A and B are shown apart, each in its own frame.
Chain A
Amino acid sequence: MKKYIRSRLIQTLVVLIGVTLLTFIMVNVAPGDAATVMTEKITDQAAIDRINAQLGLDKPYFVQYFLFLRNLVFFDFGTSYFKYKPVMQLIIEGFRVTGTLAVTIILFALVVGLAMGIMAALNRGKFWDQLIMGLSTLGMALPSFLLAILLQYIFGLKMQLLPLSGLTSWQGYVLPSVTMGMICAAEVARLTRTSMLDVLGQDYMRTATAKGISRQRIILVHGLKNALIPILTFLGNSFKAILGGAVLVETVFGLNGIGRLLVDAIMQRDTPIIQGVTVYIAMIFVLVNLGIDLFYGLIDPRIRLAKDND
């Protein structure tokens, strides 16, 4: 297992270098730079050149990239050109918001999606199954911004139960989490239903029933545990995607998360933020993938054994 983790960490390093290089190339190939955006109203070329020099954008590309890599070792991404704060501080502030959002969304999706999926599987072909599957289809088809505005309208404007936007209190997380959570829950419900139906027909389930184990225990311990792999894969991917920034939801609900930070930076060509957030997202993807793989091993001994043999 240690060997496996070590090789994955080496892979991580290679991926990170590749990502930083690709990002650097893309940022520099894209038309427009920070100085152009910053000096929108200045017509004096000398002034534009001076600002370029002050930002270090006049140096040769390989020097800029080398300096970026050198600072990366110390997790120093520099200072934002437009937000006037160290990028690391901005990422930490954004992560607090997006990370909390990701956890609450996944928890919501897990609880609601699993419950709906199990209920649908146990009532296959009946009213509850059809209702739940209908709702989950609707949930997956509904665009997130529409759902967000709908929830804002009902719970924020009409009922005035929850804040419409902002994060002045923890309640500010409820509507954005439910918005994204409902969409994830819809997919989790479908996956759970399919997996559970597959598992419920297995011999070991009949054996468990014959042994007189309670129905609740059979479903949750024997059934759900074995049905969990595809669900975990989906939730892991969703978790990564949300941590990478839930731009729409963050924008509609006015949350200063990673998504908004990155999109604003791309629009303004705020290179330090673009590079910093890209590295952060790459790390999240690699680490969450590693976490998922390790977790597979915990719930499926066949995978654990295969890895041990590697």
Chain B
Amino acid sequence: MKNKMQKQWLKLLTFFAAVTVFLVGCGGKGGSNGGDGEPKVLKYGRSATQMTTLDGQLSTTADVIQPARLVAEPLYTYDKDMNLTPLLAEDLPKTEDNTTYTVKLKEGVKFHDGSELKADDVVFTFTRLYTPETMSTNTFIADMIKGAHALLEGEADALVGVRALDDYTVEFELEDAYAPFPYVLGSEMTMIYPKEATEKAGADWGVTTFVGTGPYKFDEFVAADHFKAVKNEDYHGGEVHLDEMWIYNMDENTLAMEYEAGNINSALISNKMAGNYADSADLHKIEAMGIFEVVFNTAMEPLNDKNVRKAFAMAVDKEALVNSFLQGNATPATSAIPPKVLGHTDRPLTPADPEGAKKLLADNGYPDGVKISTWVIEGNELADAAVVLQEQLSKAGIDMEVNLVDRATYLDKRNAGEIQTVFRNWYKDYPDPDNFLYTFFHSNATPNRTPDWGKPETDELLSEGRRLPMEKREAHYEKIDKILVEDEVATVPLYYPVFHYLMNENIEGIVYVDGLLDFTHANVVSK
């Protein structure tokens, strides 16, 4: 009997051993440094649930822009100090009046299909952006171009403000002077597409086919799963080292494990996850050009009262928010314009004063404090920040109700102007104060972005800021920032965010440019 049992156990063990040996044969996702003639492969992972297309005209999220930017390029890019530099252009745009800009294209730049970049492709790209059938979600980015609105509204069939002067010269004419326009030409939303290939692809553009002038060529794309790009041997911007570049969408826990298992070489991780790698040399921190802030719906009581807004600002403990909740992974914000952007004011951080806030409320007709509410997207970092602030505000007699909803519901309520206290974050589309202030505080730009601040005085200043020549804009935006943050308390800047990413020690050449990791000259080396 004992013998029989031993035999059964032996059979079982043999079975499991066989299964194990069989499974060992399976390979992981691991990158390769190109040794022994193998291709050099870099695999990068991030949570990118919205990576459903590569067409940068259809989405503004980094989920789409990050993979798309491997393949396609805008006319300009930025150096590591965020100075605009030519990419597909010979030099910076020329202008006399900030209304008409002339761009000279580099000659001999080839798209991946072999065709040469010409001025017609630039005209086509901008025209496509404003053609209603494209259903672009990014029409706000360059709508200062003359005729953009007319084309979008179906009142014209061409974009009159973008003209090919010859094969390599493009002229942009704007409705009005707009000093930061060159930045628009450096936005990923204006990546240049080849006219013929894009038209031929139709609805498949960005899904099964995508052609650009970038360092990598489209190879394989599975929406919301992965994108594989291969080396562009003829890249106009210098040598590309990697043979293959992969971007994966992964759940964050899985991402960390895939990284630790060596299956991917680099990973973008959340600030919460970064704490687990605090002592690791693989962890890299980037200060992002963006802002997390609270803005108020002044159409709703009691936030139409400046004293209530002021009390709110006094009660917020930004230092605790950053140091305790965010574990130091952010910088407390004191200006509505992030650092390194023109017009940023480096105000001293005022300590929280809940008692002072309570007194201010009592002195202005709110002896029992005030009740306000907010709606935030569940799972979003801003939702956590709202809960932290809820506790801080309660000490000042401000009772803030926090409602957690999904993204669509949030946007619906926001557009309807039904959110009283708006927690929002904004990462720059281009590094200019106009992108942070006009976007949210000018009545032309805010009808669907609660709150509709839209005060005539602010409108005038923001419009003037667009027209002013660059050298006069800094003081102008400092003045607007003071009005919004100090005088009117239209906004309470909370913090400037940071990103964290993990990178193997054998990876070189990844740089953080313009809100994205730039893999153009990345390399996998043996160490």
Q: How large is the interface on A (under 10, 10 to 19, 20 to 34, 35 or more residues)?
A: 35 or more
Interface-facing stretch out of A131-139, A152-160, A209-217: A152-160
Docked complex Cα distance between A168 and B412 (Å): 39
> Are B254 and A30 within 8 A (Cβ)?
no
> Are A164 and B261 within 8 A (Cβ)?
yes
B135 contacts the other chain (CB 8 A): yes
Docked complex Cα distance between A268 and B248 (Å): 21
> Are A156 and B137 within 8 A (Cβ)?
no
B225 contacts the other chain (CB 8 A): yes
Docked complex Cα distance between A32 and B375 (Å): 14
Docked complex Cα distance between A163 and B30 (Å): 11
A22 surroundings in chain B (CB, below 8 A)? none
A31-B413 contact, Cβ under 8 Å, with A84-B207, A253-B254? yes
A310 contacts the other chain (CB 8 A): no
Interface-facing stretch out of A35-43, A59-67, A293-301: A35-43
B224 surroundings in chain A (CB, below 8 A)? 83, 256, 260, 264
A45-B447 contact, Cβ under 8 Å, with A84-B203, A160-B261? yes
Tell me the minimal C-beta distance from A79 to chain B in angstroms: 8
Docked complex Cα distance between A153 and B253 (Å): 10
Tell me the minimal C-beta distance from A157 to chain B in angstroms: 5
Tell me the minimal C-beta distance from B148 to chain A in angstroms: 11
Interface of chain A residues 71 through 104 with chain B (CB within 8 A): 79, 82-85
A43-B140 contact, Cβ under 8 Å, with A160-B261, A165-B254, A252-B254? yes
A309 contacts the other chain (CB 8 A): no
B60 contacts the other chain (CB 8 A): yes
Chain A residue, CB-CB nearest to B205:
A84
Chain A residue, CB-CB nearest to B143:
A44
B448 contacts the other chain (CB 8 A): yes
> Are B448 and A42 within 8 A (Cβ)?
yes
> Are A161 and B20 within 8 A (Cβ)?
yes
B488 contacts the other chain (CB 8 A): no
B153 surroundings in chain A (CB, below 8 A)? 46, 50
> Are B203 and A47 within 8 A (Cβ)?
no
A31-B445 contact, Cβ under 8 Å, with A41-B60, A54-B135, A163-B26? no
A residues sitting closer than 8 Å to B (CB atoms) are: 30-33, 36-48, 50-51, 54, 79, 82-85, 149, 152-153, 156-157, 160-166, 168-169, 171, 174, 251-254, 256, 260, 264, 266-269
B residues sitting closer than 8 Å to A (CB atoms) are: 20, 23-24, 26-29, 49-50, 52-53, 60, 132-133, 135, 137-140, 143, 152-153, 203, 206-207, 222-226, 248-251, 253-254, 257-258, 260-261, 263, 405-413, 415, 445-449
Ordered by A's residue number, 9 sampled pairs between the chains whose C-beta atoms are within 8 Å are: A31-B408, A31-B412, A32-B411, A84-B53, A84-B206, A156-B261, A171-B26, A254-B254, A256-B224
